[in-house]
């Protein structure tokens, strides 16, 4: 069972009035306007290439804050973004109002913005689709997590590949998938900070990426490629076994996302930076 701890994690949750933006391309005040509806799918996604456009990001210094994660196996493994937990003194997963589960182990990828978290167990692991060469330009994705520290989700379509080059606190180059934002639920506006580490679902409910960055000015969302997820699982010798979420559509993804959070398939991550914590 998850162990409930009301001390340092609860304190961070209570005082976190501002969600720190740990890893971003840029931001803007308002969400982008919805793009015109395009055909559902087109050409197949090409493999990574040296000629893919580059997107440059800077990983800021370690700071206490929040992100998102999702369960991938019933024995307690979760997947998130590396920048959400890298350098943290302590990491936890919020499991209910006012209660959190300590993360016992963090495994960071050295080649991508990905990390694995281990807790006692995960009740609702999700299925991951790693067949990215079968993805098609124009296909939909549904990004679920905790933008700005609150439940929220975004609807997008695939527009291609880019190569993400990160500098700053750590350096990494990785292939990423690029999505054009089509809409949001619940009147959410502004930055998607806090959604990093959350899953991107295909219409059939399988996870097809991990949200890692945004370009609010361009209305773009970047996800770690499924090939990077597969590589991390192989390196760490972890078997991801889960079930797809219910089928998602532009009409139901808000409700289905709420259900996934309630079932703790998707959870909020809390990072406590070195030197931070409750007063003594």
The alpha carbons of the chain give a radius of gyration, in whole angstroms, of 17
3-class SS string, 174-191? EEEEEEEEEEECCCCCCC
Averaged pLDDT for residues 199-222: 95
Hey, what domains does the chain have and what are their CATH numbers?
8-272 (2.40.10.120)
Cα end-to-end span (Å), the chain: 29
Residue 16 pLDDT exceeds 60: no
Digit-coded pLDDT (tens) for 80-111 = 999 999 999 999 999 877 678 899 999 999 99
Entry pTM: 0.84
* The pLDDT of residue 100: 81
Residue 209 pLDDT exceeds 60: yes
Count of CB atoms situated within 10 Å of the CB of 265: 24
Averaged pLDDT for residues 43-64: 92
Digit-coded pLDDT (tens) for 170-180 = 999 999 999 99
Digit-coded pLDDT (tens) for 142-172 = 999 999 999 999 999 999 999 999 999 999 9
User: Token pair for residue 163?
Assistant: 């190569």
Residue 133 pLDDT exceeds 90: no
Residue 250 pLDDT exceeds 60: yes
């Amino acid at each position: 069972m998850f162990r409930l701890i009301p001390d340092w994690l609860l304190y961070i949750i209570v005082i976190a009035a501002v969600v720190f933006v740990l890893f971003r391309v840029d931001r803007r005040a308002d969400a982008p306007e919805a793009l015109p509806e395009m055909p559902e799918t087109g050409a197949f996604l090409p493999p990574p290439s040296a000629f893919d456009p580059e997107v440059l990001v800077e990983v800021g210094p370690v700071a206490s804050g929040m992100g998102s994660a999702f369960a991938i196996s019933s024995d307690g493994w979760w997947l998130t973004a590396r920048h959400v937990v890298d350098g943290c003194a302590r990491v936890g997963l919020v499991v209910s109002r006012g209660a959190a589960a300590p993360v016992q182990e963090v495994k960071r990828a050295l080649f991508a913005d990905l990390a694995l978290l281990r807790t006692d167990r995960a009740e609702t692991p999700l299925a991951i689709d790693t067949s990215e060469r079968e993805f098609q330009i124009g296909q939909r994705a549904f990004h679920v997590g905790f933008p700005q520290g609150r439940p929220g989700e975004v609807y997008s379509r695939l527009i291609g590949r880019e190569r993400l080059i990160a500098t700053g606190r750590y350096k990494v180059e990785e292939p990423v998938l690029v999505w054009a934002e089509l809409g949001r639920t619940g009147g959410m506006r502004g930055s998607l900070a806090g959604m990093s580490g959350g899953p991107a679902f295909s219409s059939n409910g399988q996870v097809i990426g991990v949200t890692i960055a945004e370009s609010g000015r361009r209305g773009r969302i970047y996800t770690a490629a499924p090939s990077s997820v597969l590589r991390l699982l192989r390196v760490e010798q972890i078997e991801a076994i889960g079930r797809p979420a219910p089928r998602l559509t532009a009409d139901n993804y808000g409700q289905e996302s709420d259900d996934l959070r309630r079932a703790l398939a998707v959870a909020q991550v809390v990072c406590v930076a070195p030197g931070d914590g409750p007063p003594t």
